[in-house]
Every structure is written in C-alpha cells, then in structure tokens.
Amino acid sequence: MNRLIKVAIVALFPIYLYSHSLVLNLMDNEDGTITASGMFNTGESAAGAMVRILAIESQEILYEKRLPESSELTIPIPNIAYTVLLDGGPGHAVSKPGIEPQGGFVKEEMPKEGKNKKEQPSRTNMQISSSNAVTYSIIVAFLLLFATIFISIKNTNKLLQELKK
C-alpha cells in the first residue's frame, strides 16, 4: 500500500510547480515604434503585466500600460535614452535597454509634462492569467487532500475495530 501511494504521488506531482521567469522581447518595427512582447519561459502568457518605459537619466516614466491578452504592445520610440521594464508582479520583473531611434538619442531631456502624476492603474483592472499549470496544481492538491482524508477515515475505522475486540 505504501509503495502504491509513493508511486501515485510521484506520478501525480506536477512538473508545472517548478519556478518560471519572465521574458521580455523588444523588436524595432523600423517605423519609429517598437513592439514589446512578454511571456514566461514556461510558455504562459504575461497578459496583465505592466510595461513601463523609463528615462535613464531622470527615471521619469515616459510610458506605462498593461500587456493586453495578446501579450504584445506597439510603443513609439522615445528620443532620449530609456529602458523598458516589464513587471509581472513580485519576483517577476525584467528590464532591457531601449532600442535607439533612427536619428539617435537626443542628449537633452524632454520637458516634463506631468507624466509622473498620471493616475496609477488599479489592481481591479488587471487581467487574471488563466494558466494550465495553476489549474493542474489545484486539481492535484485537492486529489491529495481527498486521498489523505480517505486514508485517515480508513485507518480510524481500523483502530476503532481493534479497540472493540
């Protein structure tokens, strides 16, 4: 019986529980825009992750938007040096230096237009990623819970029968 349980646990333990990391890809569209796409290295969509473009010198937020369901955004290339930050939540953030525009970066900073005072997006607007890994993990957890309860009831009944003898 113990051997069967061990084999069942090993067979049912999902590989999906292993850690994953966020991947950010930047492509120059050669029309003054870049396409930022994000996903996890497990193939899971990064829809809902926040994309920010930050000025390197001033750390001013030049652009901020969540990834749509397609996990791709087309963004105009700023004239100043910048980095692209993809934030998928705690422990899931990655940044890359921005692609230089065709004419090169301008040395002077862009005038501030109150972009930092922009309203922060709320968590209620964030899309929840529906991942097969999460679904399978929850199913396995419930199966293990029910198996534990079943075995506990069975062992309790055996003990009660032994006590009655």
Reported as a single tens digit per residue, the pLDDT across 73-93 is 999 998 888 999 998 877 778
Q: What is the pLDDT confidence band of residue 146, given thresholds at 50, 70 and 90? A: very high
Q: How many domains does the chain have?
A: 2
Same domain, 114 and 40: yes
Report the CATH number at residue 122: 2.60.40.10
Sheet with 72-76: list strands edge to edge. Answer: 22-28, 33-40, 72-76
d(CA 47, CA 149): 37
8 and 22 share a domain? no
Q: Are residues 46 and 68 in the same domain?
A: yes
Domain that holds residue 28: 18-130
Q: How confident is the model at residue 147 (pLDDT cuts 50, 70, 90)?
A: very high
Same domain, 65 and 113: yes
Which pTM was predicted?
0.54
Highest mean pLDDT among 104-113, 122-131, 138-147: 138-147
